[in-house]
Amino acid sequence: MSNILHSQDAAIHDRPDVLAHVAGNVRALRAERGLSQDGLAAQAGVSRRMISGIESGEANVSLSTLDRLAQALDVSFSRLVRPPDMRDNSRIDSLAWRGTSPDSRATLLGTVPAAREAELWTWSLGAGEVYPAEADAANWHEMLYVVEGVLTVERDDAAPARVAAGDFLIFTSDRPYLFANRETVPVRFVRNVVF
């Protein structure tokens, strides 16, 4: 699996903030649990040197290693990569991986708890098209990412949200809402339904 950042390809000042978040979060969570670096390394199946490098922000750490650390610390992956002072987990918006090409990157946009299932959909709406949706059960969430065009999301409890290509919206779908294309060109978006 690829590393969060190829440090050999980027200067220290180009590192994503997520490396600093991971460093501080792992250090704080390890201390809260009363674990030494050796103890955490043993539980996660990684070397103590890797733990030391992660906590100093100097290690090339893989996403799978972060998954193992999260499991050993009994937290979610997103808890390791989000800013430590963030209280609302729904919008994280942190660069989590960068490839060797400047066009290759992965950004963790946001997370929500899922009790049963998460659905991933691709959608498109032609110009002027509207899709009305009934309210879902409590604790259901919509996660939308617009690939092309502009999507308007209208909900009873909020002002209409215009989500342009490259942006995203996360909301609880326990009230009626609708997806609308108020533009003259098609809109394409990725939709996650989490419940």
pLDDT at 92: 79
Q: Are 75 and 33 in contact (CB under 8 A)?
A: no
Q: What domains can you pick out in the chain, each with its CATH number?
A: 7-108 (1.10.260.40), 118-194 (2.60.120.10)
1-49, pLDDT tens digit by residue?
345 544 333 433 444 567 788 999 999 999 999 999 999 999 999 999 9
Question: Nearest 10 degrees: CA dihedral of 22, 28, 32, 36?
Answer: 80
pLDDT at 14: 46
pLDDT at 17: 66
In the chain the first and final C-alpha atoms are separated, in Å, by 28
- Model confidence, pTM: 0.64
User: What is the spatial distance between Cα 57 and Cα 101, in angstroms, rounded to a whole number?
Assistant: 22
The DSSP code sequence of 38-54 is: HHHHHHHTS-HHHHHHH
Q: List the chain residues with pLDDT less than 50.
A: 1-2, 5-15
